[in-house]
Chain A
Amino acid sequence: MSHVTGLRCRECGREYPIEPLNVCDFCFGPLEVSYDYDAIAHVISRESIAKGPLTMWRYEDLLPVDGANAVDIATGFTPLIKAKNLGRVLGLDNLYIKNDSVNPSYSFKDRVVSVAATKALEFGFDTLACASTGNLAGAVAAHGAKAGMKVFVFIPADLEEGKIIGTAIYGAKLVAAKGSYDDVNRLCSELADTYRWAFVNINMRPYYSEGSKTLGYEVAEQLGWRAPDHAIVPAASGSLFTKIWKGLKELSDLGLIGQAHTKMHLIQAQGCSPIVEAYRQNSLHVRPIKPNTIAKSLAIGNPADGFYALKTLKATGGRAEAVPEEEVIEGIKLLAETEGVFTEAAGGVTVAGLRQLANLGVIEKNEVTVAYITGNGLKTQEIVRHVANPLIIEPNMESFEAAFMAAGGPRS
């Protein structure tokens, strides 16, 4: 059962009823969901959660929809892996990987969209929509299919084929807009004003973004009901980062874990690091930039939650780091070769940032550290194509042995 009391403006505090609305009419600030935490405290316990399904819906009491009607394709409760090998390379004894790349549509976006689709049905919408460069598109298309809704996905015309197919397969209507990123962005925000559709990341945003809190809850539960000492999170809009912290704080305020003391570290790739730049300037206001990065899923130049991400950095004593573009691929390879997990560019950013923090001595050897791997490598194979250099041989023993020896033999 949902314990939402309404929507509230994060800037001026004005209250609004539970509606498909994301901006305050008065100050144009963003709206956030409010809960009746006293009511939640009465019904929730570690035991009640443990009795729930092995999906993100085990935390339904802390989500802004009625879990009984969830649009559920078994998103969440993804593995938390003790990363001994990667930890050895980085000099960390208590390193964990939260492998969220194995969600149904292969990214953490399934969490936010599962909530948004459920809320959209509650509101009576028959169409689910989004503007996306990949991961969100797939998640919206998959959940829309499950919900029996019409789906419209708007993409920039130059998107890679893998992502287009990974969305179209679910029967979604794809619209490829020609033009610059800014043009497409502006068009989509106008569409949301004009059509009575549930745009997951626009008019559904207050509900949608709450889905990311489950990445905080799960990690705490999987660590045996405790918050990590450090969390390493990749950021585009900054919403995921902000909501993981909100999730940990809620558990701590409800007494389900001890004091949440996690240092929240935010990572971006150099070619799109407006939040890191503001952090370095010791400012709470992000100056918009034009992204130019290999990490396309993180390419947001004007992050909606930049301000709140910066406040979270300050509140938790975490650091914001930008990683050089060339280290993104190294990060992807390092994780694959040490832990057997193939992530996309966003995960490469996380691992490169983790390495940077370890090198800086920000993380102590014994501290419990969780790196969030939020997307799957099979979606962005083109950026690591160069790793595939098979030995080409004739199908006989001599040919194999000649090639094998030429390649360095048993020592290689």
Chain B
Amino acid sequence: MANKKRIRFTFPQQLITEPVIYDLGHKFKVVTNIRRAEVREDMGWVVLELEGTEEEIERGLKWVTSMGVRVDPVSADVIEG
């Protein structure tokens, strides 16, 4: 079943120049749709929507995380003190 997920990627400096989002869309059956982003010399973040099956998105995000990119739900931390 196709479904959509809203995600925020935070890139450390050494990954800013890597085509992580392009690779995500090619290595996995996931459609990437960027909504907002900022990239600076020392870090970058991208807010995007992913579309695909639950399993494929899950696999894709595992891979992105293994690359060293931080993956968060779009509403930032949900657990509060």
A is bound by B: yes
Q: Which residues from chain A sit less than 8 Å from chain B, CB to CB? A: 11, 22-23, 26-30, 109, 130-136, 154, 156, 181, 184-186, 188-190, 192, 199, 201-202, 205, 236-237, 283, 285, 287-288, 296-304, 306, 346
Residues of A within 8 A of B47 (CB): 27-28
Contact of A29 among B10, B36, B72 (CB under 8 A): B36
Decide if B73 is an interface residue (CB 8 Å cutoff).
Answer: yes
A135 contact set on B, CB distance < 8 A:
80-81
A237→B77 CA distance, assembly (Å): 8
Q: Does B27 contact A (CB under 8 A)?
A: no
Q: Which residues of B contact A205 (CB under 8 A)?
A: 75
User: Looking at chain B's contact residues, is the secondary structure mostly helix, strand, loop, or mixed?
Assistant: strand
Given A22-B75, A186-B73: A133 touches B80 (CB 8 Å cut-off): yes
Complex CA distance for A288 and B80, rounded to whole angstroms: 15
B18–chain A nearest beta-carbon distance, Å: 18
Cβ distance B57 to chain A, nearest Cβ, rounded Å: 11
* Also in contact, A185 and B81, with CB within 8 A (given A23-B6, A29-B36): no
* Chain B residues with CB under 8 A of A130: 80
Q: Are A346 and B81 in contact (CB under 8 A)?
A: yes
Q: Known interface pairs A28-B6, A285-B38, A287-B43. Does A302 touch B81 (Cβ–Cβ under 8 Å)?
A: no
Q: Report which of B43, B75, B79 forms a contact with A285, defined as CB distance below 8 A.
A: B43
**Set A11, A29, A287, A301: member contacting B77, Cβ < 8 A:** A301
Interface centre among A156, A189, A298 (most CB of B within 10 A): A189
> Which residues of chain A come closer than 8 Å to B73, judged between CB atoms?
185-186, 189-190
With both beta carbons as reference points, the residue of chain B lying nearest to A199 in the complex is identified as: B78
* Contact digits for B41-80, partner A, Cβ 8 Å, 1 yes 0 no: 0010101010000000000000000000010111111111
* Given A132-B81, A136-B81, A285-B45, 17 more pairs with CB closer than 8 A: A22-B75, A23-B6, A27-B35, A131-B80, A132-B80, A133-B80, A154-B79, A181-B79, A185-B72, A201-B80, A237-B76, A237-B77, A283-B40, A288-B72, A300-B76, A302-B72, A346-B81
Q: Are B74 and A188 in contact (CB under 8 A)?
A: no
The answer on a CB contact under 8 Å between B81 and A298 is yes
Q: State the Cβ distance, B50 to closest chain A Cβ, in Å.
A: 12
Q: Which residue of B lies closest to A22 (CB)?
A: B75
Q: Is the CB of B81 within 8 A of A304?
A: no
A to B CB contacts below 8 Å, 17 in the list: A23-B74, A26-B35, A28-B49, A130-B80, A133-B81, A136-B80, A136-B81, A185-B72, A185-B79, A201-B80, A283-B40, A285-B40, A285-B43, A298-B81, A300-B80, A301-B77, A302-B72
